């Protein structure tokens, strides 16, 4: 789907009086104030994604391609709690390549990949990477991001329920 059309549809919903408010299901999570690195080459989509995540109490750093994301991760990788990336973008690497590189180099950072150009094959993307198809709903985006953050932030089962 054309990114401008996706944003147009999303912004039209907002213009018709729908106000984004914090979802109660996310009010008390360990994911709050997590830093999400958003990699999206379409400015309207990038800005809208950051607005959605910020409204939910997350911090965002937005870049427009994988090269900028890698530069940021090299300097601030220890601060990033989640990578949210589009698949198709200009530069030396696409979002699948970036997701795989992050999985190898910064393995503690969970990854969410989004695309309007089909689902990547299992041979292209690691199993712990979450894929969200465009056009997504705000709830689909938030549920995916929060699930990945909560998965990583959740205490180990053995630690939360010690054997007796």
pLDDT of residue 6: 44
Beta strands in the chain (DSSP E): 35-39, 59-63, 82-86, 111-115, 130-133
Single pTM value for the model: 0.76
Predicted confidence (pLDDT) at residue 119 exceeds the cutoff of 70: no
pLDDT band at 1 (very low <50, low <70, confident <90, very high): very low
Confidence bin at 123 (pLDDT 50/70/90): low
* pLDDT, tens digit, 9 for 90 and up, residues 140-150: 999 999 999 99
Band of residue 108 on the pLDDT scale cut at 50, 70, 90? very high
Domains of the chain: residue spans and CATH? 3-8+31-151 (3.40.50.2300)
Burial tier of 111 (Cβ tally within 10 Å: 0-12, 13-18, 19+): buried
Q: How far is CA 94 from the centre of its chain?
A: 15
């Amino acid at each position: 789907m054309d990114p401008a059309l996706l944003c147009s549809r999303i912004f039209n919903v907002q213009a018709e009086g729908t106000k984004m408010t914090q979802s109660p299901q996310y009010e008390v999570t360990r994911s709050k104030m997590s830093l999400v690195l958003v990699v999206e080459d379409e400015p309207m989509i990038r800005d809208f994604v950051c607005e959605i995540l910020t409204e939910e109490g997350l911090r965002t750093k937005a870049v427009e391609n994988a090269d900028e994301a890698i530069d940021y991760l090299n300097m601030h990788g220890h601060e990033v709690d989640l990578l949210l990336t589009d698949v198709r973008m200009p530069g030396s690497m696409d979002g699948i390549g970036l997701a795989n590189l992050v999985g190898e180099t910064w393995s503690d950072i969970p990854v969410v990949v989004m695309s309007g150009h089909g689902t990547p094959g299992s041979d292209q993307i690691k199993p712990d990477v979450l894929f969200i198809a465009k056009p997504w709903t705000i709830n689909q985006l938030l549920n995916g991001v929060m699930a990945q953050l909560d998965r990583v932030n959740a205490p180990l089962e053995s630690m939360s329920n010690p054997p007796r």
